[in-house]
A = this chain, B = another copy of it.
């Protein structure tokens, strides 16, 4: 079989760009996403920052899957609005990716199942060839089409061949043997193919030295933060998109004398986390919506019995089994309100991978200082998309264990009561094995000793004691971040991974002379009312941007600080993150012809 790279004959001038956006699409499970990670590594080595996003189905093989990589001289926090290049292994991938292509974008198409059918705009450059067939005949492994395509892509992006070879080599070094050889051979085939028919360098990116940033996904950053923050016991049950926390900790916790247990279900997971905490270990569990539901009872137990435990909720499209691999931010109500009875809890919402690391350490400290459950609420995009982040600063990490007594401290006490009333509501803790520290820890209402009690006075005091802790904890909860022009009368309020698209939407709006500002909320419960009141007071219209239908953040804000008539919701709930342009567009639509006008209530 002869391979032809059908090339159109326009002369190409490499475009100088500070940013490059590439999609690779094909069938789930056939390794197309590897191309994304190889490219990410290349770009890092020439000093760029990267962001990647994956779009897969809840099945292991087959069905459309794609990944987008964005490389930039600046840190980026979303995949943006458009694509410069598209590697497509089938027609469906072209359907999905081409609407986003820049007018002069590049398409690399695997024509093994026939030439490209889709009609593309005239300036789009299409390179097509039977990549899979080529890999099959020459390398006996059709999956190596990926590496072949990567070689071609690297040419179109103007990347140096040595760099590309180094990255592929590094990547398969450990596997060695056939795997390494096959991939290196595939690269050469790709380069030859590109040479043969003269694939042009369409882009030229600024090349610098490798930057020192880390490429990490949110789930992993939480895992790292957990270990560094002194966490030693983790229990979890597999679930998309939280499994990466389990995976990461299963490999890494044992090195530190810790353990990551795969529980039989999420009920077991949270109760194991509770058990380890009772014994004195910093512990955590992570799951997504369905698992969160099952942890509800354990949550109340941790609160009532005053047990420090960190719960990570990685939100996906609900309700119920929903769309397991898809993005959403619709568990706010659940994490803030779920569970019978009144009890304290803290809900922290990291907005980027850096936050995921530092706020996990904070969560561990808060849990132990205030002896209560602390949620880390993230979303699928933040959990699974990798970001370039500055190296985590280990010197900033503090482990604060609050009123956990040492044996010496305990020895000096005349009386030890696990739930002793105190001015800050926090009682001293002992752990089993300490002499003189006997305690009864219970989810029943109890007196200071931890003995079951229905005494009405005691009850009232215990309820207030627990609630007081949350009020005091609030003073240590992460503050929001402010962006934009202080004088703007149009504001955004949002949380989580929306920070990326919103910041870029603000840039777009600025170019249209719509100055905006933005309050990124990072504590969802308790809310910092002061920052919200100040912000909402200062704007005419506040767009509350969230990936859910009902406006859960907007609801929390109305409940806690009011301002219903200034709040306008921008909501998305189709399983995907916002795009910057879409947010800008919705704002412009809402403001109508004359910008800055007051908007109607959502």
Tell me whether A548 and B342 are in contact (CB under 8 A): yes
CA distance A576 to B328 in the complex (A): 41
Tell me whether A456 and B303 are in contact (CB under 8 A): no
CB<8 Å pairs between A and B, sample of 26? A57-B454, A58-B452, A267-B294, A289-B340, A290-B297, A292-B340, A293-B297, A297-B320, A301-B321, A304-B321, A319-B340, A319-B343, A320-B341, A321-B443, A321-B444, A322-B341, A322-B444, A330-B341, A333-B338, A342-B548, A342-B552, A445-B575, A456-B574, A456-B575, A562-B562, A562-B564
Tell me whether B559 and A463 are in contact (CB under 8 A): no
Q: Does A211 contact B (CB under 8 A)?
A: no
Residues of B near A342 (CB, < 8 A) are 318-319, 330, 548-550, 552, 573
CA distance A448 to B458 in the complex (A): 55
Contact among B290, B305, B341 for A289, CB-based, below 8 A = B341
> Among the interface residues A292, A457, A467, which one has the most CB atoms of the partner chain B within 10 A?
A292
CA distance A57 to B58 in the complex (A): 49
State whether A338 and B334 are in contact (beta carbons under 8 Å apart), knowing that A293-B300, A562-B558 are contacts in the complex: yes
> Contact string, A269-304, partner B, CB cutoff 8 A, digits 1/0?
000000000000000000011101110110111011
Pairs of residues from A and B, 7 with the lowest C-beta to C-beta distance, nearest first: A318-B341, A289-B340, A319-B341, A320-B443, A337-B337, A293-B297, A304-B320
* New A-B pairs, 5, CB < 8 Å, besides A315-B340, A321-B443, A556-B559: A319-B343, A323-B445, A330-B340, A342-B550, A464-B549
Residues of B near A362 (CB, < 8 A) are none
**Which residues from chain A sit less than 8 Å from chain B, CB to CB?**
57-58, 267, 288-290, 292-294, 296-297, 299-301, 303-305, 313, 315, 317-326, 328, 330-331, 333-334, 336-343, 442-445, 452, 454, 456-457, 459-460, 463-464, 467, 548-550, 552, 555-556, 558-560, 562, 564, 573-576
State whether A444 and B555 are in contact (beta carbons under 8 Å apart), knowing that A296-B293, A456-B574 are contacts in the complex: no
Residues of B near A574 (CB, < 8 A) are 456-457, 459-460
Tell me whether B564 and A296 are in contact (CB under 8 A): no
Residue of B nearest to A288 (CB): B340
Tell me whether B315 and A328 are in contact (CB under 8 A): no
CA distance A464 to B571 in the complex (A): 13
Tell me whether A305 and B320 are in contact (CB under 8 A): yes
State whether A454 and B319 are in contact (beta carbons under 8 Å apart), knowing that A300-B293, A340-B290, A467-B550 are contacts in the complex: no
Query: Smallest Cβ distance from A416 to chain B, in angstroms?
Result: 23
Tell me whether B559 and A320 are in contact (CB under 8 A): no
Query: Smallest Cβ distance from A380 to chain B, in angstroms?
Result: 12
> Among the interface residues A322, A330, A443, A457, which one has the most CB atoms of the partner chain B within 10 A?
A322
Residues of B near A317 (CB, < 8 A) are 341, 445, 459
Residues of B near A560 (CB, < 8 A) are 558
Residue of B nearest to A304 (CB): B320
Residues of B near A57 (CB, < 8 A) are 454
Residues of B near A459 (CB, < 8 A) are 317, 323, 573-575
CA distance A338 to B294 in the complex (A): 11
Residues of B near A331 (CB, < 8 A) are 340-341
> Among the interface residues A297, A334, A548, A558, which one has the most CB atoms of the partner chain B within 10 A?
A297
Residues of B near A292 (CB, < 8 A) are 340
Query: Smallest Cβ distance from A182 to chain B, in angstroms?
Result: 33
Residues of B near A443 (CB, < 8 A) are 319-322
CA distance A336 to B573 in the complex (A): 20
Query: Smallest Cβ distance from A572 to chain B, in angstroms?
Result: 9
Residues of B near A467 (CB, < 8 A) are 549-550
CA distance A476 to B519 in the complex (A): 40
Residues of B near A322 (CB, < 8 A) are 304, 341, 443-445
Residue of B nearest to A298 (CB): B293
Tell me whether B323 and A454 are in contact (CB under 8 A): yes
Tell me whether B340 and A337 are in contact (CB under 8 A): no
Contact among B288, B296, B456 for A294, CB-based, below 8 A = B296
Residues of B near A445 (CB, < 8 A) are 317, 322-323, 575
Tell me whether A319 and B334 are in contact (CB under 8 A): no
CA distance A328 to B454 in the complex (A): 13
CA distance A326 to B343 in the complex (A): 17
Tell me whether B337 and A336 are in contact (CB under 8 A): yes
Contact among B304, B330, B464, B556 for A319, CB-based, below 8 A = B304
Contact among B320, B323, B337 for A300, CB-based, below 8 A = B320
Residues of B near A301 (CB, < 8 A) are 319-321
Residues of B near A304 (CB, < 8 A) are 318-322
CA distance A445 to B323 in the complex (A): 6
Residues of B near A558 (CB, < 8 A) are 558-560, 562
Tell me whether A338 and B454 are in contact (CB under 8 A): no
Residues of B near A341 (CB, < 8 A) are 289, 317-320, 322, 328, 330-331, 548
